[in-house]
């Protein structure tokens, strides 16, 4: 098989990139190991806890025992399905803070400052929040990716936002617009009651239009590199090994776990590690697999005084009712991911932009679908956004079918502990405000008895969970930076005709969920390939004028 461009991974970055290349008339083949995304478990937003716990849709990765978390192994879901992780994620849409991208540029990713990436966020969006506040000048309304807001019918959503204000924090009508900092409505990739994954937003429309884009189901084994140039991808399908040739370029968008693994299997990575597995070194790049980052979070849960939470549906009949209504009408509770209110705050004075995020949920439940034994309750998912801890993805063996070794080194930096303690204490203060205090019967977890630094640390060690935002393992930087893996055009340094277009290239994790910046990465790298650029934006994002002197 032959194509001009061979893309590995039909996920957020790869599918957006393939769409733009095919739109420009380029012949594209996408290699995807997973199968179809059809069926209610993926398409129904409220069913989000199912696909990420189903082996048919998830690679099933997990971390090594994490010393900072008492030796626990944490699951690391990554989508193994058309749409990639956008088909199994929580559908939360957060671009990231403007300062994140300015930091990328300062770290060597020239041309990726906020003014450079904002036009790509606008190009990819079809935003539906104009009637709910927010500034249309900052948003796009003609892109393939529908971005909507939940109805916020449950009183708890607005009361949580009000409590943030009562605690002295700003309101923001649109955290994806001029001002991220503050409390307000949350946005989601949901459209007409369905999960709006990149499969629904980009891939199907491209195929319907007859654009030259084809998905081949198979396991990518390695990039074929001849004379220092990527010429194709070796895959296994139906028990046979074959090569799909790329006339122009190969683009890896296989996730921040599988992309570094594939680079290493192809001879691109730290020479010592590759030689230890008997792999010939094509380009000795020590940064491949390094710089692994994630968001760690806790679920702060509260028992409710009134039976107004979603717990009343948390039984076989309630779930059947919600599911039936969604199947028949596409509406009701099944049409929301239930993350409809949020907050972004700074943990201290002297911090320029938010470093704590809140997802509010009107039920006390875990990501794996286990409800709190307390019955009616609610929770926030929260944690520090910019941990200084760094991990790595390394090869377990030279066998492409074997999962890599994933070590996040969570909580390995002392600052992480101080930041997490602040998160818990600031959150308690928000829930003690009049708007929420009347709803709180008691704190389920950590629990009122957990007060001292030592008690809080023990809780974090036992209960912190990944927010499933791994990134950074093939970081972008200047071409002469020995730790960088790709240059600011997305090109792998030391190999011609090979690029990366997923969250692996993030120099530093963004302030929020990663699906939006991953799609933006695919959109922007496609333009680098096509030799074109959208003009930079000249809008001025809001930074709290009192940030040096005040925490709020």
Collapsing DSSP to helix, strand or coil, 523 comes out as helix
Burial of 3 (0-12, 13-18, 19+ CB in 10 A): buried
90 is in an annotated binding site: yes
Please provide the distance, in angstroms rounded to a whole number, between the alpha carbons at the two ends of the chain: 58
Copy the structure tokens of residue 162. 């009000």
494 is in an annotated binding site: no
Rounded CA-CA distance 531/526 in Å is 9
Collapsing DSSP to helix, strand or coil, 240 comes out as strand
89 is in an annotated binding site: yes
Q: What is the DSSP letter of 62?
A: E
Rounded CA-CA distance 132/186 in Å is 11
Q: What is the DSSP letter of 313?
A: G
Collapsing DSSP to helix, strand or coil, 312 comes out as helix
CA nearest neighbour of 293 among 500, 29, 473, 108: 473
* 3-state secondary structure string across 351-403: CCCCCEEEEEECCCECCCCCECCCCCEEEEEEEECCCCCCEEEECCCCCCCCC
Q: Which residues contact 174 (CB under 8 A, 6 or more apart)?
A: 129, 133, 134, 135, 138, 139, 184
177 is in an annotated binding site: no
Rounded CA-CA distance 144/391 in Å is 34
Rounded CA-CA distance 451/29 in Å is 55
Q: Which residue has the tokens 């470093």?
A: 355
Collapsing DSSP to helix, strand or coil, 458 comes out as helix
Give the active site residue among 295, 439, 469, 528.
Answer: 469
Respond yes or no: is residue 359 known to be catalytic.
Answer: no
154 is in an annotated binding site: no
- At CB < 8 A and 24+ separation, what contacts does 41-44 make? 42/81, 42/83, 42/87, 42/88, 42/195, 42/197, 43/194, 43/195, 44/194, 44/195, 44/323, 44/326, 44/334, 44/335
Catalytic annotation, residues? 469
**Which residue numbers belong to the known binding site?**
81, 89-92
**Which residue numbers belong to the known binding site for FAD?**
81, 89-92
């Amino acid at each position: 098989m032959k194509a001009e461009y061979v893309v590995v991974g039909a996920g957020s970055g790869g599918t957006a990139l393939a769409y733009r290349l095919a739109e420009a008339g380029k012949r594209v083949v996408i290699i995807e190991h997973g199968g179809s995304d059809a069926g209610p478990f993926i398409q129904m937003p409220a069913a989000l806890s199912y696909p990420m716990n189903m082996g048919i849709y998830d690679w099933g990765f997990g971390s090594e025992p994490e010393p900072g978390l008492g030796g626990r192994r944490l699951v690391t879901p990554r989508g193994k399905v058309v749409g990639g992780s956008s088909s199994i994620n929580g559908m939360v849409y957060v671009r990231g803070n403007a300062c994140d991208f300015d930091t990328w540029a300062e770290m060597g990713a020239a041309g990726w400052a906020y003014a450079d990436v904002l036009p790509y966020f606008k190009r990819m969006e079809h935003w539906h929040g104009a009637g709910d506040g927010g500034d249309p000048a900052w948003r796009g309304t003609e892109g393939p990716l529908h971005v909507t807001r939940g109805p916020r019918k449950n009183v708890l959503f607005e009361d949580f936002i009000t409590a943030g204000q009562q605690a002295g924090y700003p309101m923001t009508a649109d955290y994806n617009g001029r001002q991220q900092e503050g409390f307000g409505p949350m946005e989601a990739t949901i459209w007409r009651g369905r999960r709006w994954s990149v499969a629904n937003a980009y891939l199907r429309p491209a195929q319907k239009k007859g654009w030259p884009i084809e998905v081949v189901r198979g396991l990518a084994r390695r990039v074929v590199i001849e004379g220092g140039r990527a010429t194709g991808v070796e895959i296994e399908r139906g028990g046979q090994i074959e090569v799909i040739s790329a006339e122009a370029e190969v683009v890896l968008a296989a996730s921040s776990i599988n992309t570094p693994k594939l680079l290493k299997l192809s001879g691109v990575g730290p020479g010592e590690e590759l030689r230890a597995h008997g792999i010939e070194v094509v380009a000795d790049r020590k940064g491949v697999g390094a710089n692994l980052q994630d968001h760690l979070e806790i679920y702060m849960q509260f028992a409710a005084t009134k039976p107004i939470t979603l717990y009343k549906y948390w039984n076989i009949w309630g779930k059947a009712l919600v599911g039936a209504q969604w199947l028949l009408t596409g509406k009701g509770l099944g049409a929301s991911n239930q993350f409809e209110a949020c907050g972004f705050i700074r943990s201290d004075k002297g911090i320029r932009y938010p470093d704590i995020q809140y997802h509010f949920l009107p039920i006390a439940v875990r990501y794996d679908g286990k409800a709190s034994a307390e019955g009616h309750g609610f929770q926030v998912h929260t944690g520090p956004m910019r941990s200084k801890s760094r991990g790595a993805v390394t090869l377990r063996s030279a066998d492409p079918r074997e999962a890599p070794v994933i070590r996040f080194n969570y909580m390995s930096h002392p600052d992480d502990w101080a930041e997490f303690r602040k998160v818990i204490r600031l959150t308690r203060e928000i829930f003690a405000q009049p708007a929420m205090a009347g709803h709180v019967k008691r704190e389920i977890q950590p629990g009122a008895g957990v007060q001292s630094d030592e008690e809080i640390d023990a809780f974090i060690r036992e209960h912190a969970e990944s927010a499933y935002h791994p990134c950074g393992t093939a970081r972008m930087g200047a071409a002469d930076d020995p730790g960088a893996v790709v240059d600011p055009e997305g090109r792998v340094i030391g190999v011609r005709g090979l690029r990366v277009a997923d969250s692996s290239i993030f120099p530093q994790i963004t302030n929020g969920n990663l699906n939006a910046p991953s799609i933006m990465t695919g959109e922007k790298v496609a333009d680098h390939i096509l030799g074109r650029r959208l003009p930079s934006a000249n809008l001025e994002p809001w930074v709290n004028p009192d940030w040096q002197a005040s925490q709020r």
